Amino acid sequence: MTRSSVLGYPRIGADREWKKALEAFWAGKLEESEFHQQLQEIRLNHLRKQQEKGIDLIAVNDFSYYDHVLDTATMFGIIPKRFPYEGGEVPLSVYYGIARGTKDATASEMTKWFNTNYHYIVPELDGATPVLTENRPLAAYKEAKEKLGIEGKPVIVGPLTFLKLSKGYQPSETDAWLKKLLPLYVQILQELAQEGVQWVQIDEPILVTKLSDGDLQRLRTIYETFAASAPGLNIMLQTYFEAVENYQDIIQLPVSGIGLDFVHGQTGNVQAIKESGFPSNKVLGAGVIDGRGIWKASLREKLTQLEELTKYVAAERLIVQSSCSLLHVPVTVNNETKLLPELKGALAFADEKLNELVLLTKAVSTGAARIAEELEQSELAIQALKQSGERNRHDVQQAVAAVSAQEPARSLPFAERHVVQQNKWQLPIFPTTTIGSFPQSAEVRKARQQWRKGEWNNEQYEGFIQEQIDIWIKLQEEIGLDVLVHGEFERTDMVEFFGEKLEGFAFTQYGWVQSYGSRCVKPPVIFGDVAFEKAMTVEETKYAQSKTNRPVKGMLTGPITIMNWSFVREDITREQIAYQLAYALRQEVEALEQAGIGMIQVDEPAVREGLPLKEEDQAEYLAWAVKAFRMTTCTVQPTTQIHTHMCYCEFHDMIDSIESMDADVISIETSRSHGELIHSFEVNTYKLGIGLGVYDIHSPRVPRVEEMTSMIDRALRVLDPKLFWINPDCGLKTRGKEETVESLRNMVQATEIARSAYSLNV
């Protein structure tokens, strides 16, 4: 009989209970024993919900105290040398130290989980001697069975994926590291088998990327070793986010099941099965329900898809499952009370996806007639949104089509713009600035809440925001920054703020998802045609500029980041959505310039995460992503300086596209991986203005002047000093006032040292 399965469930809870517990513990408001108890209650509640919904194979060990990749590293005792650790189970002080940093040690690097907006902590293998500190999957299995009677499916990050996502070793050491790790994985699997576990899900999303012949041989070694060591254990080799590469090699591996993504990898995976079949001795995990999107599935289309698969795989060897973990979507639509009926009716969050999986499983097992009513309801809901006025703005569609038909470009090339901008601004060598936001204290959050609740009128709230701007303009001047910002105190989130002011967006009340650690975001929903309504940032920026003689940057979020950090509609292409956003934001850029703002920052931290995993699809994406940015910024005067900000990416493989964005100044988040990025500039040239983040804003520690001086010195070995800016890694919204001021003072002091050294060498 066909079964249902979920690859993982959101950790955070419907009301972010998980986040609140973590932050209470970090603040010392929760004892460790009580902290463990609270997280266990959250974890069991999530399992119980899936059990009650009727999911057959429920994932366990998908829950985490911070991040599942960090869990894997600490389970193997892989602890960076700068943290005090003497063996055994890793204490929470070390676990959270690796993730967040401590007073004495920097945090480990954090980067995107494939092409999602979830961030994982990068394992550092250098100098580590792996040992099994605890069998986390076994503990999770036993807990679910003892507490709830659930025969769980333990989830483990696979060895090849773990190694590929780690740092601190040379490619030539890969096999040596695999030899160290394999016995630990074998011990985990053997202990699971001894406990009576039936299915284990081993996540190998790396299999959807291009693998070398050496990697394919390692893959065979890994799974042949597992099959020989735990022959009675059913292993589900799980892939997601795209179609697998090397399908014929993968289906020959000695595993009991293979999980494929039939949402984001639909075309490639279906084609592979049609061409090569599917082994009759294996189970197919058919990921037909989108684990990353929020839209209600067309049950009729999904059922047709599953019926097509049963031509190649017997129904009893089919598991109907999510395309990936539901970690990437909010918990439930039930609590949303303020959405348009046609929009709410078309949404499916994690709990609603559980229902869809159960319904489809029933239909495959017993026939479509058993869910005839639900099939009809899903179609009606989808059609209601499709026919809504918000999705049929012909004025917007025609204007965007006309603008996007042109090739956007500034009126002068960068070399000429740089000269006129230098004449206008008269900035010193190595100008200093920040990325945009300043600390949002409890007072700021309370004021916004009072305004939103109607307890404060607009005048009160605007007056409060102006007071905050006054404080921080004065502080920036005292610190000695060259280019100032207004601080973004009126903004909750860099995407939500703009979405609330543009047409075509909707906002949930409880649609939170985990971004990194306890950082949860509530992505906007782009459900209709996007349109500019009125100026969004001019008032605060213009006010800030009136308080100082130094330049104040206007601050916008770019079209690609707004798109990539939103849940987007599926009835038009992402390229079309990007151009609608670009056209709307262009009108805001023009409004800022007309108001006298001569520096405008259009942030694009999320360009990289939208990059397709398949190399053959990347050039097309980058071409229209660059075009969308240029559409946003191309109409300003040559003297108007366009800035952008990007999070760390493997710069060498995107440098041409980033340069093509033609921003006058780009700042890049680099401090956790500064050396790797500097190496990119040793083999590539970059001819525009650039600022490499000189300290990590995700950590509460205040960086020393010497640390930042060292970073500046190394950058200046490969970058043109005349084009080099100095700034923090990212926005400072989540930091405290005192540490922010102290860190920026140190940054300015490091800049002065660099200026003095440079003046002596010219």
Q: Is 727 annotated as a binding residue?
A: no
Q: How far apart are CA 247 and CA 526, in angstroms?
A: 35
Using a CB cutoff of 8 Å and minimum separation of 24, what contacts does 571-574 make?
571/386, 571/391, 574/610
Q: Is 324 annotated as a binding-site member? A: no
| Residue 417 annotated as binding site | no
Alpha-carbon gap, residue 605 to 558, rounded angstroms: 9
435 is in an annotated binding site: yes
The response to whether 16 counts as a known ligand-binding position is yes
Question: What's the Cα-to-Cα distance from 214 to each of 165, 208, 240, 250, rounded to whole Å?
Answer: 16, 16, 22, 14
Whose tokens are 């078309």? That residue is: 346
For the chain, count helices (H), then strands (E).
Answer: 27, 21
564 is in an annotated binding site: no
Residue 264 annotated as catalytic = no
Distance CA 700, CA 684 (A): 33
Amino acid at 31: E
Tokens of 282: 């294996």
**DSSP string computed for 665-712:** EEEE--GGGHHHHHHHHHHS---SEEEEE-S-TTSSSPPPHHHHHHHH
Pairwise CA distance, residues 43 & 39, whole Å: 6
The catalytic residue among 46, 68, 119, 698 is 698
Query: Is 18 part of any known ligand binding site?
Result: yes
Q: Could you give the C-alpha distances from 56 to 53, 147, 312, 320, 529, in angstroms and in order?
A: 9, 17, 22, 10, 40
Q: Does the annotation list 645 as a binding residue?
A: yes
The helix (run of H) or strand (run of E) holding residue 637 is none
Residue 459 in marked binding region: no
Whether 669 has a binding-site annotation, put simply, is yes
Among candidate residues 193, 196, 166, 194, the one with its CA nearest the CA of residue 178: 166
Q: Which of 386, 377, 328 is nearest to 355 (CA)?
A: 377
Question: 424 a known binding residue?
Answer: no
Calpha distance 642→646 (Å, rounded): 14
First-to-last alpha carbon distance for the chain, in angstroms, is: 77
Q: Point out the annotated binding site.
A: 16-19, 112, 117, 435-437, 488, 519-520, 565, 603, 609, 645, 647, 669, 730
Residues annotated within the binding site for Zn(2+) are 645, 647, 669, 730
Annotated catalytic sites, by residue? Answer: 698
* Known binding-site positions for 5-methyltetrahydropteroyltri-L-glutamate: 16-19, 112, 117, 519-520, 565, 609
Q: Indicate the annotated binding residues for L-methionine.
A: 435-437, 488, 603
